[in-house]
Chain A
Amino acid sequence: MRDSSRLVAALVATVTALLLQVTVMPHLAYDGVVADLVLLVVVAAALVTDARFATLLGFGAGLLLDLAPPGDHVAGRWALALMVVGYVVGRLAHDHPSVADRRPALPVMLAAAAGGSFVGSSVFALTGVLLSDPSVPFADQLGVVLTALALDAVVALVVVPLTVWLFTRRSGPPPTQVTPRLPLPARRTVVR
């Protein structure tokens, strides 16, 4: 039941982000670079859910991004990129339990968004280089990646808290989700 509500939240957030990304964001584009809302949704999901779910969500959302109408690149590139983002951010949040509270602090969200944006855009660009899909010079790619990072960091101020709220609100009664995580550090100290 908890999983299903989380799934609905992920689906709603991803599809909404995808639609907004291709309809609204181009009006706010800087130099043609558009804020990556889907990536921010994956980052936010990775912050408040577990790494496994974030990885799967990244894969699914990336696949959707690959197949959605404006996409013309080789399918699977965004899937891989967002999967990596979901895994990395989820893993880091998991390894630092203080971060993975129910509501992460805003600086944490921002840092996660910026890092996720950099990782995602870079992986996407690198797969492009490997597949020689767009065959863009590396310097140009770096410029685009950094611009996207700045844009994502700005837009993350709104999108990530919104998505976090969506996920934490829909995910069942709070205690059942928090308790499994708390014994973990305690037991580890025992183990050592």
Chain B
Amino acid sequence: MTLDTLPPRRPDRVSDGTDASARASQVRRVGAVRDRHEARHGLPSRSLLVALVLGCAALMVVDKTGGEDSPVEPARRLAGEVLGPAQAGVSAFLEPVLGIPGALDTNDSLRDRVAALEDENAELLSALRTAGYDEHRLQQLDGLRTVAGDTGYAMVPARVVAIGPAQTFSNTVTIDAGSDAGLHPDMTVLAAAGLVGRVTSVTSHTAVVRLIADSGSTVGGRIGENMEMGLVHGRGRIGDDAVLDLQMVDASVVPEQGQTVVTAGSQDGGPYVSGVPIGEVTRVFEEIRAGTYRAEVRPFVDLTALDMVGVVVPSGTQTNRPVIEADGNLRMPS
């Protein structure tokens, strides 16, 4: 088939009528003749093939054993320097062409996608904007659970939904739990930090809470350190300068700055349950005429920033909303 496999140099195969001397000369120049034939017909000579294969093998060995600093690295780097920018150029040039499949999207599908993305965006934005608020509420709820566990009272969590205007000269708020939740007047309302006030009236879904800072509010309290009783009056001021007045029952007892005032409690837990922190004594006055001491108490609760509060309810109260039980667990409505 090929010239290689059919060597023309065997005399018995040569039947083209050449004479002996020509045959002899052909035999003598075997290699040269074959190479010439291969060269003429475009076949690579064996020496070339061997050289190329050996070159490949040598290159592989050198590169393999050389590792990081093999002699091939400079060549590779050079190729990278030349071809890298060309690749980047071609890539940039072809980018619009490669984007054609994306351009073939129909207008309708694009509109749908825009609508879907806008919806998703709005949802995410809303979630983002309320994230801080939600976190704060979570903290408050967590605080309420801690208070419930500390004080041993079950409570219904509720949110402050309205704050009475200053024009009414009463400091009341509305919470979003009412008689349906098992609330009734003269229940204690507290927040994670301390006492908030008491329920004065309820509707089926809401309740009005009189804050302890209301000028008409009087809370029986005692000084935590020495159990001395007193009455805590509101002054009608909430906000940063919210101050309560503490009037001691025993005229000889002098409150001291930094002492904590807690609720004293009364029969059947109404209107205030006992042991809820009210505030901290900040200043002490002597009322010379009455012969008693008066102290200013700063409430623990920021009354202008009320949100999540808890209404103390008897354990096992039937409500339509979850109840934080005395052990701090959340009981879902049955």
Contact = CB atoms under 8 A, between A and B. Distances in A.
Partners in one complex: yes
Contacts of B43: 50-52, 91, 94
B41 A180 contact: yes
A24 interface: yes
A19 B86 contact: yes
Interface stretch (A35-43, A61-69, A107-115, A166-174): A61-69
Given A19-B87, A19-B90, A94 B98 contact: no
A68 B75 CA distance: 9
A67 B60 contact: no
A65 to B, nearest CB: 10
Contact of A76 (B56, B94, B98): B56
A69 B8 contact: no
Nearest to A83: B52
A177 to B, nearest CB: 10
A131 B60 contact: yes
A103 interface: no
Nearest to B95: A23
B98 A27 contact: yes
Given A23-B91, A50-B41, A52-B42, A69 B60 contact: no
A23 to B, nearest CB: 4
B91 A191 contact: no
Contacts, number: 113
A138 B1 CA distance: 36
B14 A51 contact: no
B104 to A, nearest CB: 15
A29 B47 CA distance: 39
Given A23-B90, A180-B40, A190-B16, A76 B8 contact: no
A190 B16 CA distance: 7
A12 B13 CA distance: 46
Nearest to A18: B83
Given A24-B94, A49-B42, A94-B41, A74 B79 contact: no
A79 B42 contact: no
B258 interface: no
Contact of B83 (A50, A51, A69, A87): A69
A22 B90 CA distance: 10
A141 interface: no
Interface string A68-85: 110100111101100100
Nearest to B59: A76
A74 B41 CA distance: 34
How many B residues are at the interface, by size bracket? Answer: 35 or more
A87 B49 contact: yes
Given A19-B83, A76-B63, A55 B41 contact: no
Interface string B80-103: 100110110011001000100000
B80 A75 contact: no
Contacts of B49: 55, 87
B48 A52 contact: yes
A181 interface: yes
Contacts of A76: 55-60, 63
B160 interface: no
A69 B44 contact: no
A140 interface: no
A118 interface: no
Given A19-B83, A50-B43, A55-B44, A95 B2 contact: yes
Interface string A173-188: 0000000110010001
Contact of B76 (A50, A67, A131): A67
B80 A68 contact: yes
A122 interface: no
Given A55-B49, A69-B79, A94-B42, A23 B87 contact: yes
Given A52-B43, A181-B41, A191-B8, A75 B60 contact: yes
Given A69-B79, A80-B53, 20 more contacts: A23-B87, A23-B90, A23-B94, A24-B90, A27-B98, A51-B42, A55-B48, A66-B59, A67-B72, A67-B75, A67-B76, A75-B59, A75-B60, A76-B63, A79-B59, A80-B57, A80-B60, A91-B43, A180-B40, A181-B41
Interface of B: 1-3, 8, 13-16, 38-45, 48-49, 52-53, 55-60, 63-64, 72, 75-76, 78-80, 83-84, 86-87, 90-91, 94, 98
Interface of A: 15, 18-20, 22-24, 27, 49-53, 55-56, 59, 63-64, 66-69, 71, 74-77, 79-80, 83, 87, 90-91, 94-95, 127, 131, 133, 180-181, 184, 188, 190-192
Nearest 10 pairs of A and B residues by beta carbon: A50-B42, A76-B59, A80-B56, A67-B79, A76-B60, A52-B44, A75-B63, A23-B91, A75-B72, A69-B80
